[in-house]
Chain A
Amino acid sequence: MSKFEQRLKGKVAIITGAGQGIGAAIAECYAAHGACVLITGRTLGKLEEVAGRIVEKGGVAEPLQALAGDRSDSEKTVALALRKWGRVDVLVNNAHTFTDYLPLTDPKMEENCLVDMQSGFLGSLQLMQLCYPHMVKQGGGSIINFGSSYGIRCEKGFLAYAASKEAIRALTKTAAREWGPEGIRVNTLLPSAMSPKALWYLKESNSYDDELAKVAMGKFGEPEDIAPTALFLASDDSNYVTGQTIGVDGGSTML
């Protein structure tokens, strides 16, 4: 694939959780391929930094402070994309809270589940619902949701996160069926790129080596390892791909 070919020219993308890590890497990759990107997250300063880097390289980016799962923020997000560029072609639901380790019997369990579900599952659903009529009008679009190997493997202590991630996969598959005839493709990406918090947890719980042993490629990923797959799923190269789950995790999850 030529590095000089702009594979998202003329497209508009919304990327959540894009102030750092995977979301930022995807935003920069999309912008380099010609897309106008609206990047959202909790901390405006970080988003402005990412947008600044993109604009410096000649790309088009707009930062917006928005909390995943807050309906009024989701409405503002889609409205801004439409006001700026008049369309939405790609939605990347990357934002998700990650509540701490908690056994099922903990009194806070239910509360944790609601926190993760609100930001991850409902946050993804809200933006999908809001983008839908515009994608229909345009004749299609591509939605990329984020699952997790933790959802599929179900490690001890992470029910809230795992449950929301698996709910997101159900959302992907349902939307792929309901919206496919309208040209909207929906897929789930399972990334493995360690956030600072995840690394902290692995060290704290002495599970770093155990986790690494599950990765066939013998190394944890970087945000830059994830972006090319998000590009493939957003581009016309994946025109017949919908409802699928693809792991970008060095071979740790097999479906």
Chain B
Amino acid sequence: MNTAPTQRVALVTGAGDPAGMGAAICRKFAALGMKVAVLDINVAGAGQVAKSINDDGGQAMAVACDVSSSSNIEQALEQVRAEFGPIDTLVNNAAIEGWCKFEELSEELWDKTFDVNLKGTFMVTQKVLPDMEKAQWGRIINVSALGGQMGGVYDMTHYNATKGGMITFTQSLAIGLGAKGITVNSVSPGFIDTPMARRAIETNAFPVDPEVIIASYPIPRLGTADDIAAAVSFFASDEAGYITNQVLGVNGGCFT
């Protein structure tokens, strides 16, 4: 069996908001003893996340990265490899939303959403992969979304299309990498208490009262960023080495 590197190095995109899922994933990884590269287009936010991890005795570095830019990614990876070494764990978490009625959806917003959420996932994965292939060991976790599994929100056609794409991207990529000791899985968050969800609640973006939605869930509460981080860290663990090609919904049971 292929063995995990003794000092694990993880890279998490879109991790610059201390209240978001990316940051929670970074904190969980650091607590498990991994070195963590905190990537975000907002480098000040990434710096804040990395600092709090380092203050708590973990090892983190903040790196500026717009995942829709190929040259940005290359620069970021150069920094991470120079400081932490080869990357064995990748979490594609960076995503933008932007609610918009289909009739009003512009080509520009459609393209931007696809560039960050889906093209970004493809480019970061392709550029990180050589490290994992060399080690014959790797973990790739794509953070998709409930909307990517079931659609269901009229004002999110563009966002949900990118997340559905991440799921089939996962299920295609996994086929070629299994024999190299690299697993590819997706965690699909449901309604999670994140800055993204809070913005939607505050702007009354939901067609139905969010309280009513939450009350209908088998586990009737909002999910937390830590719920997502726990599932991601499970897929990232050495012991999950026979799990690939899976989509795990962390959604309180609302979609099964």
B161-182 near A? 1/0 per residue, CB < 8 Å: 0000000000100110111000
**List of B residues within 8 angstroms of A241 by Cβ:** 227, 231, 248-250
28 A-B residue pairs with CB within 8 Å: A1-B234, A2-B32, A180-B217, A180-B218, A180-B220, A180-B253, A192-B242, A218-B179, A221-B242, A228-B237, A237-B230, A237-B233, A238-B231, A238-B234, A240-B251, A241-B231, A242-B218, A242-B252, A243-B253, A244-B253, A245-B256, A247-B246, A248-B243, A250-B178, A251-B183, A253-B245, A254-B246, A255-B246
A-B contact count (CB 8 A): 119
B242 pairs with A254, CB closer than 8 A: no
Chain B nearest Cβ from A14, distance in angstroms: 22
Chain A nearest Cβ from B224, distance in angstroms: 7
The listed residue with most B CB atoms (<10 A of its CB), out of A237, A241, A246, is A241
Counting CB contacts under 8 A, is A176 at the interface?
yes
B256 pairs with A1, CB closer than 8 A: no
Counting CB contacts under 8 A, is A181 at the interface?
yes
List B residues 105-143 near A (Cβ within 8 Å). Answer: none
The complex places the Cα of A237 from the Cα of B256 at a distance, in Å, of: 19
The complex places the Cα of A215 from the Cα of B175 at a distance, in Å, of: 8
B245 pairs with A247, CB closer than 8 A: yes
Q: How large is the interface on A (under 10, 10 to 19, 20 to 34, 35 or more residues)?
A: 35 or more
Which B residues fall within an 8 A CB radius of A? Answer: 32, 171, 174-175, 177-179, 183, 190, 217-220, 223-224, 227, 230-231, 233-234, 237, 239-253, 255-256
Partner pick for A216 among B174, B218, B237, B250, CB 8 A cutoff: B174
B242 pairs with A176, CB closer than 8 A: no
The complex places the Cα of A181 from the Cα of B215 at a distance, in Å, of: 9
Which single residue of chain B is at the shortest CB-CB distance from A179? Answer: B218
**List of B residues within 8 angstroms of A255 by Cβ:** 246-247
Which A residues fall within an 8 A CB radius of B? Answer: 1-2, 172-173, 176-177, 179-181, 183, 185, 192, 215-218, 221, 225-226, 228-229, 232, 237-255
A246 pairs with B246, CB closer than 8 A: yes
Q: Given A1-B234, A225-B242, 5 more contacts at CB 8 Å? A: A177-B253, A181-B220, A216-B244, A229-B234, A251-B178
- Given A1-B32, A228-B239, residue A240 in contact with residue B224 (CB < 8 A): yes
A244 pairs with B230, CB closer than 8 A: no
**List of B residues within 8 angstroms of A248 by Cβ:** 242-243
Which single residue of chain A is at the shortest CB-CB distance from B217? Answer: A180
B256 pairs with A176, CB closer than 8 A: yes
Partner pick for B218 among A177, A225, A249, CB 8 A cutoff: A177
- Given A180-B253, A243-B256, residue A229 in contact with residue B218 (CB < 8 A): no
**List of A residues within 8 angstroms of B224 by Cβ:** 240
**List of A residues within 8 angstroms of B227 by Cβ:** 239-241
- Given A245-B256, A247-B246, A251-B244, residue A185 in contact with residue B239 (CB < 8 A): no
The complex places the Cα of A244 from the Cα of B251 at a distance, in Å, of: 9
**List of B residues within 8 angstroms of A249 by Cβ:** 242
B253 pairs with A242, CB closer than 8 A: yes
Which single residue of chain B is at the shortest CB-CB distance from A221? Answer: B242
Which single residue of chain A is at the shortest CB-CB distance from B236? Answer: A1
B240 pairs with A229, CB closer than 8 A: yes
B242 pairs with A250, CB closer than 8 A: yes
B244 pairs with A217, CB closer than 8 A: yes
